[in-house]
Amino acid sequence: MKRIYIAGPMTGHPELNFPAFHAEAARLRGLGFDVVNPAEINTDPNAGWQTCMRDDIAQLVRCDGVATLPGWQRSRGASIEVGLAQGLEMPVVEAAALVARCSA
């Protein structure tokens, strides 16, 4: 898995949870992954949810797998992204577990 998409909760979080997305992207990039970070795709905090999801999904389908952030299960968007990845038979892993495994 070389190109990885980060899926996690945004809506309802302070700063749309961008700090968590950026921190995880930095960790994964430090391990050599090509990271697709939705917080970098959707930089306009006033953009509509559906517009953001369409832009994100267009990038997700070009990835090799998905790394999830804590709380993704309670996120409508992240649940859609994980479901799509699973439907496309892409690996889905917890980002923290992936970092731990690659750092060991």
pLDDT in tens, 4-58: 999 999 988 988 899 999 999 999 999 999 999 999 998 787 889 999 999 999 9
Q: Which letter does DSSP use for residue 17 in this model?
A: G
pLDDT in tens, 73-102: 999 999 999 999 999 999 999 999 998 888
CATH numbers and ranges of domains, the chain: 3-103 (3.40.50.450)
Q: What is the DSSP string of 85-97?
A: HHHTT--EEEHHH
In this structure, are residues 30 and 40 in contact, taking their beta carbons and an 8 Å threshold? no
Query: Could you give the strand order of the β-sheet that contains 3-7, starting from the edge strand earlier in sequence?
Result: 34-36, 3-7, 65-68, 92-94
Rounded Cα distance between 22 and 66, Å, is 15
